[in-house]
Amino acid sequence: MMNAHVRTEASEAARPASSLLEVKNLTTEFRTERGTVRSLHSVSFGLGEGEALGLVGESGCGKSVTALSIMGLLPQPAGRIVSGEILFNGVDLTKLSDREMEAVRGKDIALIFQDALTSLNPVLTIERQITEAARRHLGLSPAAARRRAIEFLDLVGIPAPDKRISDYPHQFSGGMRQRVMIAMALVCGPRLLIADEPTTALDVTIQAQILELLQRLRKELSMALIMITHDLGVVAGIADRVNVMYAGHVVETGMVRQIFKNASHPYTAGLLGSIPKLDSIRGSKLQSIKGTPPDLANPPPGCPFTPRCSHAFDKCAEPPPRSSPEPAHAAECWLLEAGVNTADSRGLS
């Protein structure tokens, strides 16, 4: 069969026209007692101004490490970026000093941590915590920082923000604390917000409200968003594009509809199960695929999905190249090179 797919350079496919963020061949490792763990393998993706990107994949696939690498917050001394570039507005963040990175963090790029509900300091008032960044990054006086903080607490839906700003974190419900975290992340007007599982600890109704809030704020503030989640419904509802991660690789990337309607990687197809319609996956979690991800200290040679893939063939013992089945859509699988459409052959084990 003729090869219907175009092999692409890692960073070429699915790259938005104007890139705010360009992650190029990012490789991140941890030194552990069991040896070196490679958590990210040559990860590449781009993000345009105001665009929303979903990062999905099973636990341990490298979603948080991607966020921490971008923020320069890898646990030290174990974690380090071994190679690659993280271009934000054309500046390579991997080359910045700690001090220069501190100026970017919180101001231009903000992160809502995976354990956001425990990230607030219990012994400081919300005012202390939310005004700190506004004073440091924006050079505001205490009174101006307080006014700005109240404005942002109001924006995220905290009732009576002028009074609640004097409260301590334990005086807020889980959903309200999450709103405070969002206000704190946004107070300096970042151009990129990274939200790492921001709703996982919340009940379903509150989750929906927080997601709606993030979606609204993203548009109002013209901010780009990287949404890390296990929930395909969240991706469908909020993201323009999706990166599917497996064992530290971005195995598939594309527009939301391309990923949900025309998954090209067997892992993505496995996550989606056999549900083809976007509407019907709203609120659904990742499907479980038999087996577990590989030990990152000792990954299989070639395609990391080989031990779990019912489509595996001899070629899969070599690392698959990135191929593009259609514009803005790319995947790392030998089946694409062979011209096989995984979407039509979802017989996963």
* Residue 309 binds which entry of ligand ATP, Mg ion, ligand SF4, none, CB below 5-8 Å type-dependent: ligand SF4
- Kindly state the smallest distance separating residue 230's Cβ from ligand SF4, in Å: 20
Q: Is 94 within 8 Å of 100 (Cβ atoms)?
A: no
Nearer to Mg ion, 114 or 131 (CB): 114
Q: Among 303, 322, 323, 325, which residue sits at the site for ligand SF4 (rule: CB under 6 A)?
A: 303
Contact call for residue 260 and ligand SF4 (CB under 6 A): no
Spatial separation of the C-alpha atoms in residues 177 and 172, rounded to whole Å? 6
Spatial separation of the C-alpha atoms in residues 345 and 349, rounded to whole Å? 12
- Kindly state the smallest distance separating residue 301's Cβ from ligand SF4, in Å: 11
Which stretch in 15-23, 147-155, 272-280, 300-308 sits in contact with ligand SF4 by CB under 6 A? 300-308
* Residue 78 binds which entry of ligand SF4, Mg ion, ligand ATP, none, CB below 5-8 Å type-dependent: ligand ATP
- Kindly state the smallest distance separating residue 271's Cβ from ligand SF4, in Å: 12
Long-range contacts of 122-125 (CB under 8 A, 24+ apart): 122/168, 122/169, 122/170, 123/168, 124/168, 125/165, 125/166, 125/167, 125/168
Q: Among 19, 44, 64, 131, which residue sits at the site for Mg ion (rule: CB under 5 A)?
A: 64
Nearer to Mg ion, 64 or 94 (CB): 64
- Kindly state the smallest distance separating residue 66's Cβ from ligand ATP, in Å: 7
Nearer to ligand SF4, 105 or 265 (CB): 265
Structure tokens at 279: 């509407």
* Residue 39 binds which entry of ligand SF4, ligand ATP, Mg ion, none, CB below 5-8 Å type-dependent: ligand ATP
Spatial separation of the C-alpha atoms in residues 192 and 109, rounded to whole Å? 5
Q: Among 215, 306, 328, 341, which residue sits at the site for ligand SF4 (rule: CB under 6 A)?
A: 306
Residue (of 249, 252, 244, 239) closest to 13 by Cα position: 252
Contact call for residue 272 and ligand SF4 (CB under 6 A): no
Q: Radius of gyration (Cα) for the chain, nearest Å?
A: 21
- What phi, psi does 321 have (nearest 5°)? -75, 165
Quick check: helix, strand or coil at residue 22?
Answer: strand
- Decide: residue 101, CB within 10 A, 0-12 exposed, 13-18 middle, 19+ buried: middle
Q: Is the peptide bond preceding residue 304 cis, with omega within 30 degrees of 0?
A: no
Contact call for residue 312 and ligand SF4 (CB under 6 A): yes
- Kindly state the smallest distance separating residue 56's Cβ from ligand SF4, in Å: 16
Contact call for residue 348 and ligand SF4 (CB under 6 A): no
Spatial separation of the C-alpha atoms in residues 285 and 239, rounded to whole Å? 16
Contact call for residue 246 and ligand SF4 (CB under 6 A): no
Spatial separation of the C-alpha atoms in residues 346 and 349, rounded to whole Å? 9
Contact call for residue 309 and ligand SF4 (CB under 6 A): yes
- Kindly state the smallest distance separating residue 62's Cβ from Mg ion, in Å: 9
Residue (of 71, 74, 69, 76) closest to 27 by Cα position: 69
Nearer to Mg ion, 11 or 114 (CB): 114
Spatial separation of the C-alpha atoms in residues 23 and 31, rounded to whole Å? 22
Residue (of 201, 166, 204, 161) closest to 183 by Cα position: 161
Residues of the shown chain interacting with ligand ATP in the complex, contacts defined by CB under 6 A: 30, 32, 37, 39, 57, 59-65, 75, 78, 114, 296
Contact call for residue 334 and ligand SF4 (CB under 6 A): yes
- For β-strands 192-196 and 224-228, DSSP reports them as parallel
* Residue 296 binds which entry of Mg ion, ligand ATP, ligand SF4, none, CB below 5-8 Å type-dependent: ligand ATP
**Binding stretches for ligand SF4 (CB under 6 A):** 265-266, 303, 305-306, 309, 311-312, 316, 320, 333-335
